[in-house]
Amino acid sequence: MKKLLFTPLLKKLILPVLIFGMFSTNAQQKVGGLALYTVRDNMGEDAKATLKAVADAGYKNIEAAGYKDGKFYNMAPMEFSELLKEVGLKPISTHQGGVTLENADTMIADVKAAGFKYFVIPVPPMGLKGDYKQLASALNTLGEKCHKAGLKLLYHNHAFEFERGYDGIITYDYLLENTNPKFVNFQMDLYWVTKADKDPIAYFNKYPGRFKMWHVKDMDDKGRFAPVGNGQIDFSNILAKKKLSGMKYYMVEQDRTFDMTPLEAIKISHEGIIQIGFK
């Protein structure tokens, strides 16, 4: 049997193919972020095992939603940061629903210590739902505090911000027009925008660059949460406007998973984001 000789030219042709075959699958899988609110019950039971499952599902970034009494999921900020490093996940954003003007400095320091980049306000804090003027003012103040600490503040929407108040004002529009883009930007939840019967792309066109992060979750034919790619939201067209929107990161989220477990749902969603073209 003749020995196969690898000429310099043959090596140039074959080696890249071999290397690509060895590493491309893992490289393709490690994309996107997951909002840990999706797996909140699992995080409460076993945070380390859950985070490992998130990483194994192919996600590379996470958004926390478990801060209380100075800890993230019952771990000190640095302890949580080290655990994320251990399982191969990056802390990008965290929902800080309990923020007030009084506790903001302490909370910002904890968020910074855990290694997050974005401080996200998930609902109107301090009982400011419906008071859009005070909410805008509070966001500007909190955003400036975050900016001084090297963090970026985002406001996350649900559907109610798109309802017209008694004076005809739409809270979401008011916030976009009355917050300082230097200090305050937005995490657009694509499901809730769709639920409110609004067009995300219309907002991108009207307020370009303000939507630094997206929550990516689908809607089934009953209007319920669904794994990404298993619903009716046209993510491909929305994704084509990524640059216009200002999106830097996105987080897959599914508030409820109905006929499957959250850990099953996040795998389906990860396959979905890859098929749609998210990077």
pTM here is: 0.90
Averaged over successive runs of 10 residues, the pLDDT of the chain (279 residues) comes to: 45 44 49 98 98 98 98 98 98 98 98 98 97 98 98 98 96 98 98 98 98 98 97 98 98 97 98 97
Residue holding tokens 């034919």? 221
Q: So what's the pLDDT on residue 18?
A: 43
Residue 28, phi then psi, degrees to nearest 5:
-70, -35
Q: So what's the pLDDT on residue 29?
A: 67
Q: Extract the tokens encoding 190.
A: 């694509």
Amino acid at 209: G
Q: So what's the pLDDT on residue 20?
A: 41
Domains delineated in the chain: 33-276 (3.20.20.150)
Instruction: Name the residue among 187, 189, 237, 190 with its Cα closest to residue 212.
Output: 187
Q: So what's the pLDDT on residue 242?
A: 98
Q: So what's the pLDDT on residue 59?
A: 98
CA atoms within 13 A on the CB side of 45: 6
| 90-95/218-219 β-pairing | unpaired
